[in-house]
Structure 1
């Protein structure tokens, strides 16, 4: 870096006053900036003299905010709708940003992907911090000072309040300047009911977060508050307040365990774009919800939900629909097929009993997360943009190959994972999370379809995926032959993970040298007697072989340069492991005493291994010396024909 940049950086750091958050904020702003004028503008900014806060850190933060790209500013300010120390879930934020039009659409880009970019950029610029929970769940927080910064720049448009006693209802007021309101606490409903209507007319967002508050506060209420609540009589439940006074509301979020009914007045929210409802007691949505013609996003998390309104198909602009109902929802209304603009559909109920015809009307859909019982799969044909994972169960019930062809898996170039179960009686549950899980049921109840090798071969051939597929699981395949696409590296050119389970008729590994393969699992393939690892790519990192009861020989370990995990278990007839195609000299009792009985020839080893497990292989009496990695490794040998052995990376 040129010296004058270094000098300016030191001077900017001095102006930060040694405050870590200030330095972090300015550094996040400048780390990709190569324009000298921008550096000089920040150094000489009048904002260093800001007097609006007693916090010394504020000038540096205000400069960072001033240089925040215009498209990120409203997204950042919206975060301050929530109270300090609130854990913000990534997709909840993005859905609200979309509803308010904060995210700029781009050609050939999904709007949620753009929202994720915005979210990540705010984190990179240190405006959002990790919340300290599971990083995979993607929660974030605003630092208290960052929260103050957002409130300072939002000009009173964002407001949050906690209401836990009657005095709070009287003392905490919402001004007409507030556009985005968060209400939490056990008495939040009473507070919302008492806000004057003239102060509600400008509200764009209402978040009612009463969580699990119920049954403990009825005695505190003044009857004059006109609350629609009876906490002592759970059969009467809790209903919402009148919604007609929210004339321009765009976002309504209700997290409220004791909510039992939504008033029909919700149909008056003509501008509502995003509706989120979370309750453990709500059993149905009102028919009036079908009048929310501008609704784009509907999220319902209600474990007791039993029915969807028949007119849900009238929501012509709906793009995102998520129904999480536990296992109570058994049927999908036919009108759902009218939602032709749907991009994402989630119905989280374990195997809905009835799926209507007409699902072919979703040509734009990219994500479906559901468990459905179906009789055909041909309706998948036009879902060419389907992403994520697709799982078929009970494929033995398919006897119409033309229907399987119509599913047209070859054109689904965005599909990442495919699971093919013939009977799903596999003792191993799938560990790859399924987004769309389809359980085939027979046309009649006469039982499963009994087919020949040719029938099952032809079916698997019809289910050929696009070459972009990254993960494939085949379970219960009842044939000795496999189609050519499984043997052709060009047709599986992106595959990274392969699992074969309960394929008892396959006699050898059915695929060629798949150059991208990193993860291989072989379970309960009882007809395989020899596994030749030479046909696998050298960059394979994970290999698991279990319950192959007739397996006798595994050759070619020396070919696997990057193998770090090897697990072999319950292969009772396995007798030999070799480095190359021809068996090399092996030693006995290598794991009994490492100080002797190791031949001095062939000291080559699998140096990349970090985990080695060989268990319950009773016929394996000889273990090669090269199997012990020279570097740190966890080793477990137990229940084999040789002595047990255990080694830890830590040396014990």
Structure 2
């Protein structure tokens, strides 16, 4: 920490700087004071901008009046709504009237407008639009605290197979760059993708699922090329909150001993540091993901391997990339339901271990 503080002072000492701290949630006043003490060495005119959805954070971090962002103007809100909701239909005066009434409930929030408009773009009759306005939307208040409930309306109108696929995305950390091809392979491994048309592969059908969710506004920052390989995307923080809400107790991100010990036995899908898996109580895991976090000790010893193989025979997805282990126990073949195995990034993994590729679909 002393070295980091010294490096920071060296970077800003005597220099005029602009520092943006985006999406801050820490409400501890003492920690903010400690941070400010490290930032006082800049030249006159230096500025710090903090963005947050917490009014308490805004008050703690600012000596001036916080600037509260307002929603879009009526004209801009309608322009965005119209572009999405009427993309594939002629602009009927009756649809326009209903659409503007629905838009009043969106509070000018772009994400809400995009999501609601995306849901309506798949409804083809005036009756469906009126039903959406009079029934589902009528139960939602306009105040900011109901944004998540408004977004959930679009989730509620998804086909069941897309609901499973969206909720599964809760396993990714916030602001994580999602590789679409890998995400689709996860969906396939879990049995979410149904091959109704024999002329299409499961991968092609899964990619259609992704495009359907994207067109409804559930993803953002989708790569410019709409091709299969190399395509990435992200989820808005509020969409991630929605995925967490609808996933409930079946999915969890486990990044501390406390969370690991609290996750219930009904949990089926987890993102976890392998060293914490021994604290997990459930026995019916279907997904175990690992997103490298270099703040923790990355290791994978025989004891952890044995624990996973002995306790989680229902695993369908096992991703253990970026860990430091040399050998894979032959007992891994007892995981008879395993459909996706990722061991990439383990640079010292012995080449002889690659023989496991003939037992499972592997990524090495």
TM (norm. structure 1) is 0.38
State how far apart, in whole Å, the 1-side matches of 2:94 and 2:259 are.
58
Tell me which of the two structures has the higher relative contact order, counting C-alpha pairs closer than 8 angstroms and 6 or more residues apart.
Answer: 2
Residue number among 243, 248, 257 corresponding to 1:155 in the alignment: 248
Match of 2:213 in 1: 122
Structure 1 residue 48: Cα displacement: 4.4
- Specify whether residues 177 and 72 from structure 1 end up closer, same or farther in structure 2 by C-alpha distance, changes over 3 A only: same
Residue number among 251, 259, 269 corresponding to 2:335 in the alignment: 269
Q: Is the Cα–Cα contact under 8 Å of residues 254 and 260 in structure 2 kept in the other structure?
A: no
Match of 2:98 in 1: 8
Mapping of residues 13-412 of structure 1, within 5 Å: 13-50=103-140, 55-105=145-195, 106-130=197-221, 137-163=230-256, 168=257, 173-183=262-272, 188-195=273-280, 199-210=281-292, 217=297, 240=305, 242-243=307-308, 244-284=310-350, 305=351, 308-309=354-355, 313=358, 315=359, 322-323=363-364
Q: Is the Cα–Cα contact under 8 Å of residues 180 and 203 in structure 1 kept in the other structure?
A: yes
- Specify whether residues 25 and 228 from structure 1 end up closer, same or farther in structure 2 by C-alpha distance, changes over 3 A only: closer
- Specify whether residues 6 and 98 from structure 1 end up closer, same or farther in structure 2 by C-alpha distance, changes over 3 A only: same
Where does the alignment leave 5 or more consecutive residues of structure 1 unmatched? 219-226, 230-236, 285-304, 324-652
Q: What CA RMSD, in Å, does the superposition of the two structures yield over aligned residues? A: 3.0
- Specify whether residues 240 and 116 from structure 1 end up closer, same or farther in structure 2 by C-alpha distance, changes over 3 A only: same
Secondary structure of the structure 2 residue equivalent to 1:159: strand
Name the count of aligned residue pairs: 269
1:470-522 Cα shifts (integer Å, max 9, x gaps): xxxxxxxxxxxxxxxxxxxxxxxxxxxxxxxxxxxxxxxxxxxxxxxxxxxxx
Q: Is the Cα–Cα contact under 8 Å of residues 270 and 289 in structure 2 kept in the other structure?
A: yes
More helix by share: 2
Structure 1 residue 31: Cα displacement: 2.5
Q: Is the Cα–Cα contact under 8 Å of residues 176 and 200 in structure 1 kept in the other structure?
A: yes
Q: Is the Cα–Cα contact under 8 Å of residues 158 and 180 in structure 1 kept in the other structure?
A: yes
Secondary structure of the structure 1 residue equivalent to 2:262: coil
Secondary structure of the structure 2 residue equivalent to 1:178: coil
Where does the alignment leave 5 or more consecutive residues of structure 2 unmatched? 1-90
State how far apart, in whole Å, the 1-side matches of 2:130 and 2:338 are.
45
State how far apart, in whole Å, the 2-side matches of 1:190 and 1:312 are.
25
Secondary structure of the structure 2 residue equivalent to 1:200: coil
Secondary structure of the structure 2 residue equivalent to 1:279: coil
Q: Is the Cα–Cα contact under 8 Å of residues 340 and 362 in structure 2 kept in the other structure?
A: no
Secondary structure of the structure 2 residue equivalent to 1:156: helix
- Specify whether residues 3 and 34 from structure 1 end up closer, same or farther in structure 2 by C-alpha distance, changes over 3 A only: same
Match of 2:48 in 1: none
Structure 1 residue 306: Cα displacement: 5.4
TM (norm. structure 2) is 0.66
